[in-house]
Amino acid sequence: MIGLFCFENFLMNSKGRKYLAGKIGADLDQIERINLKDDFTVKLKDGRISHIDLDDLGPIVRSECLACTDFSNNVADISVGGVGSSDGYTTVIVRNDAAQRLINQAISQGYIEEIERKGIIEKIEKMAERKRRRGRQVLADRKAAVTH
Ligand code: SF4
């Protein structure tokens, strides 16, 4: 199983769309690309780039995502995502021998290229810890709200 890194997902109802449009200062149909790495990066069709801190997107994060504690898809054989990778590359976590054989085969057959970058694990751990902390706090708050 291949899983994605995931910090959160957003409510794209009319309120959510309006909120995000306000944050990027443009209509959403002007978005060319979105990248969620260390922050929420939006590239517009006119070339402008907006960086939005993840904390600023709190109002439109889905409720279930606020309570989620798994950043790197811990049960996947292979996890992939943008954190720590250069443009055009993807960070890959390989969790077992079968997955490693698959990756090795893809490299040897020229489908993917492997490069090494320093500090990637630290960045992933930082994001994972940030998400775990938020999820635990949200779950504790919800439990307290239910038991009162
Ligand atoms: S529930 Fe967790 S894994 Fe699923 S979209 Fe939300 S943050 Fe991501």
Q: What is the pLDDT of residue 144?
A: 87
Contacts of 137 (CB under 8 A, 6+ apart): none
Q: What is the pTM of this model?
A: 0.86
Characterize the bridge pairing of strands 78-81 and 2-4.
parallel
Instruction: Determine if ligand 1 sits within 6 Å of the CB of residue 20.
Output: no
Residue 44 maps to a domain: yes
- Sites in the chain below the pLDDT cut of 70: none
The H or E element spanning position 133 is helix 120-147
- Same domain flag for 19 and 47: yes
Give the pLDDT of residue 59.
93
Q: In this structure, are 78 and 103 located in the same domain?
A: yes
Residues 76 and 141 in one domain: yes
List, as own/partner pairs, every contact residues 142-148 make where C-beta atoms lie below 8 angstroms and the sequence separation is at least 24, other chains included: 142/67
Nearest ligand 1 atom, CA 9: 5
Q: 92: Cβ below 6 Å to ligand 1?
A: no
